[in-house]
């Protein structure tokens, strides 16, 4: 079978995410689609800025919390993040495009984070973001560097991925506003009976009512990173693997059974 053309690969990548309208589902779907289109050991969506407390990351496959804490503290040392923040040029760049291997290896970020997990190569590109922060996708590898063809694929796909991301942000905001006006939410005491803490029950109740991660963060006056941490603990506590399963469990616990 002949190899797929660049155009065909871009269409396949964009097609995987263009129909996803909920922002949290889009984030997960985008990472999965990118990992299929450009094979890599890790793919992540990262918010990076001058204030480390506002940094957050979604990584596939997931990394331990202590590894993520290292990233939040040292992310400003990433040559690609530094370049994005300095130039606001969101096009795809590889580490090898901007620094030598020796320069990369000299950073605390490499010695404390990337070296222990074996990452030697990375390519990243930016999505829409506000203020001084950047929101970027990073693909990382242990072995071979990313090729020129892979960089071209990401460059061609990026405008379409940006549009899909903006569409999901808008749709999620509209749906969240509507849900806050009309939808009830699962009973928090019932959720606590499942073994969740009051804070976790509060977060899950809002998520199950249709609010996005950013909406929950705004309502509870906490960071999106803190919301993500609560969700990770909720999944573990409920024995589920994702947001949809947690929401189903929340409503199942609150609503009476319809079985006869």
The tens digit of pLDDT for each residue in 7-23 reads 999 999 999 998 888 88
- 213-220 and 23-37 helices cross at what angle (nearest 10)? 140
- Whether residue 81 sits in one domain with residue 17: yes
- Whether residue 92 sits in one domain with residue 48: yes
Q: What is the CATH number of the domain that holds 212?
A: 1.10.10.10
- Whether residue 203 sits in one domain with residue 162: no
- Whether residue 139 sits in one domain with residue 91: yes
The reply to whether 82 falls in a domain is: yes
- Whether residue 149 sits in one domain with residue 226: no
**Sheet bearing 93-94, strands edge to edge:** 56-60, 42-48, 134-141, 121-127, 93-94
* Residues 6 or more apart whose Cβ sits within 8 Å of residue 110: 104
The reply to whether 259 falls in a domain is: no
The reply to whether 214 falls in a domain is: yes
The reply to whether 69 falls in a domain is: yes
- Whether residue 160 sits in one domain with residue 193: no
pLDDT for 78: 96
The reply to whether 213 falls in a domain is: yes
Q: What is the CATH number of the domain that holds 21?
A: 3.30.450.80
The reply to whether 260 falls in a domain is: no
The reply to whether 193 falls in a domain is: yes
Domain of 63, in residue numbers: 6-174
- pTM of the predicted protein model: 0.71
- Whether residue 80 sits in one domain with residue 146: yes
- Whether residue 194 sits in one domain with residue 169: no
- Whether residue 96 sits in one domain with residue 47: yes
pLDDT for 209: 83
pLDDT for 21: 84
Cα 235 to Cα 95: distance, rounded to the nearest angstrom: 34
- Whether residue 189 sits in one domain with residue 97: no
- Whether residue 222 sits in one domain with residue 126: no
**Which of 117, 145, 174 lies at the terminal end of a domain, its last residue?**
174
- Whether residue 160 sits in one domain with residue 35: yes
Number of domains in the chain: 2
pLDDT for 259: 41
* Residues 6 or more apart whose Cβ sits within 8 Å of residue 1: none
- 213-220 and 198-208 helices cross at what angle (nearest 10)? 130
Q: In which residue ranges of the chain is pLDDT below 50?
A: 181-182, 257-260
The reply to whether 37 falls in a domain is: yes
pLDDT for 198: 92
Cα 237 to Cα 26: distance, rounded to the nearest angstrom: 24
Bridge partners of 44, per DSSP, are: 59, 138
**Which of 149, 174, 199 lies at the terminal end of a domain, its last residue?**
174
**Which of 128, 157, 174 lies at the terminal end of a domain, its last residue?**
174
> Each residue of 235-256: pLDDT tens digit?
999 998 888 888 888 888 876 5
pLDDT for 258: 37
Among residues 67, 103, 105, 98, which one has the least CA distance to residue 84?
98
């Amino acid at each position: 079978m002949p190899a797929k053309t660049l155009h065909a690969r871009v269409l396949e990548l964009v097609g995987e995410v263009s129909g996803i309208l909920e922002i949290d589902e889009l984030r997960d779907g985008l990472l999965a689609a990118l990992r299929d289109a450009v094979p890599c050991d890790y793919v992540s969506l990262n918010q990076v800025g001058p204030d480390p407390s506002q940094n957050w990351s979604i990584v596939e496959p997931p990394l331990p919390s202590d590894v993520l804490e290292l990233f939040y503290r040292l992310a400003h040392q990433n040559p690609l993040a530094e370049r994005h923040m300095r130039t606001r040029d969101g096009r795809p760049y590889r580490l090898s495009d901007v620094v030598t291997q020796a320069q990369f290896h000299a950073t605390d970020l490499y010695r404390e984070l990337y070296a222990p997990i074996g990452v030697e190569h990375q390519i990243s590109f930016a999505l829409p973001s506000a203020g001084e922060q950047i929101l970027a996708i990073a693909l990382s590898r242990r072995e071979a560097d990313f090729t020129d063809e892979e960089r071209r694929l990401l460059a061609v796909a990026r405008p379409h991925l940006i549009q899909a991301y903006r569409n999901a942000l808008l749709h999620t905001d509209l749906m969240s506003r509507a849900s806050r006006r009309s939808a009830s939410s699962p009973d928090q005491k019932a959720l606590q009976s499942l073994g969740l803490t009051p804070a976790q029950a509060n977060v899950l109740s809002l998520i199950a009512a249709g609010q996005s991660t950013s909406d929950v963060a705004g309502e509870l006056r906490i960071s999106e990173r803190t919301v993500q941490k609560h969700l990770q603990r909720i999944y573990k506590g409920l024995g589920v693997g994702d947001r949809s399963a947690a929401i189903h469990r929340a409503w199942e616990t609150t609503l009476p059974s319809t079985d006869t």
